[in-house]
Structure 1
Amino acid sequence: MKIALIHATTTALNPIEKAFQTVEPDLELLHFMDTSLLALMEKSGTLTPEIIRRFSLLMNLAYDSGVSCIQLTCSAFNDITSILQPLYPVKLFRSDEAMLDEALQYNSIGLISTVKETPIALQNYLRDKNPDCIVESIVDPGIIHLLSQGKRAEHDERVKMMVEQMDGRTEVIVLSQYSMEHVAKLVNPSVPILTAPLSAAKRCLAYLNGHIV
């Protein structure tokens, strides 16, 4: 079986590949990427017609490749699933839905983000599922770009600072970007800390095996 992965940054590649290798190494992964998308989102702050059009191009390529499902890997664009899913018979997964469903087991949720548009997309999902959930957010805008600049240590330190700042304020902490997954191993907060790639891979496999719809 083939799964399409749609990326807006190169920083998501390694975390999601590792996750699928852990869950089911025999799955065929097809990667579709447009690295201009994040810059467009950072400039506009919302899903513009241009962003939707460019995402549709990636979706068309993925669908025409005969994949069994499509997994987004950039959380800032998650709300686009409600726009594009009705246009395709193949299942389209948000980057973080499995992780956020796990987070919804708690009453208060802390979001750590490195892209300023991400918390909006995550809060939309959380409050749609549970309007009474308490969501707090800390964002250090743009530091995701430190990874592509070879400044991983600086990136990691700034994410760790956000985690430390959030610790104790909520019952669970969510690392919003795939690119932060490795930082979860570098911190030891007093509450659970959640990352998305492995949860996403497990949900895709469950869907392929007919365990969810």
Structure 2
Amino acid sequence: MKIALIHATTTALKPIERAFQTVAPNIELLHFMDTGLLALMEKSGKLTPEIIRRFSALLNLAYDSRVSCIQLTCSAFNGITSILQPLYTVKLFRSDEAMLDEALGYTTIGLISTVKETPIALQNYLLDKNPDCKIVSLVDPGIIHLLSQGRRRSMTIGLKRW
């Protein structure tokens, strides 16, 4: 089985490869990346026609590689799956779909992210499925840029009890 992975940042490569090696080592992974997408999303704060066009180009390359499915690896862009899924016969998976579906079992959901646009995409998904859930989010946008430079920093996050 071949799975295409669509990346907007290099920081996703190693973690997702480790995850697949642990859970499904026999799956062949194909990586498709456009590192300019994150800057476009940070500038606009939403999915623009340019972002959709560039994602579509990546998806076309992946689809033409005869993959079984296509997995996005950045939550900030997950809304694009509902826009572009009708164009492809293979399933497009959001990076966070299973996690969010499981989180819907709780009345309050905490979101921690490295990109300020991510909570919007996640909240939209959660509220579409359960308009009554309470969502609390915390964003540290500096972390993603440190990770892309290969730097790590420890981060202490204090969350109030809900």
Q: Which runs of 5+ in 1 are unaligned?
A: 170-213
Find the aligned partners of 2:57 and 2:140 in 1 and give their Cα distance. Answer: 30
Counterpart residue identity of residue 116, structure 2: K
Asked if the contact 1:116/1:142 (under 8 Å) is kept, the reply is no
Find the aligned partners of 1:66 and 1:19 in 2 and give their Cα distance. Answer: 22
1:60 maps to which residue? 60
Asked if the contact 2:9/2:148 (under 8 Å) is kept, the reply is no
1:46 corresponds to 2:46: yes
Find the aligned partners of 2:52 and 2:148 in 1 and give their Cα distance. Answer: 24
1:105 corresponds to 2:98: no
TM-score by length of 2: 0.96
Q: Which runs of 5+ in 2 are unaligned?
A: none
Find the aligned partners of 2:14 and 2:60 in 1 and give their Cα distance. Answer: 24
2:127 maps to which residue? 127
State the aligned residue count: 162
Counterpart residue identity of residue 46, structure 1: K
Three-state SS of the structure 2 residue aligned to 1:109 is strand
TM-score by length of 1: 0.74
Counterpart residue identity of residue 77, structure 1: F
Find the aligned partners of 2:142 and 2:69 in 1 and give their Cα distance. Answer: 30
Find the aligned partners of 2:58 and 2:110 in 1 and give their Cα distance. Answer: 31
Asked if the contact 2:109/2:136 (under 8 Å) is kept, the reply is yes
1:12 corresponds to 2:29: no
Find the aligned partners of 1:15 and 1:42 in 2 and give their Cα distance. Answer: 23
| Offset from partner CA, 1:113-146 (integer Å, 9 cap, x none) | 1100000000011111111100001111232110
What is the Cα deviation at residue 105 of structure 1?
1.1
Counterpart residue identity of residue 125, structure 1: Y
1:114 corresponds to 2:114: yes
The 5 Å alignment of 1:135-146 reads 135-146=135-146
Three-state SS of the structure 2 residue aligned to 1:106 is coil
1:84 corresponds to 2:84: yes
| Offset from partner CA, 1:143-184 (integer Å, 9 cap, x none) | 2110122320x2x32xxx23xx22523xxxxxxxxxxxxxxx
- RMSD over aligned CA atoms reads 1.0
Of Structure 1 and Structure 2, which has the larger fraction of its residues in helix? Answer: 1
Find the aligned partners of 2:73 and 2:142 in 1 and give their Cα distance. Answer: 17
Please, which moves more after superposition, 137-146 or 95-104? Answer: 137-146
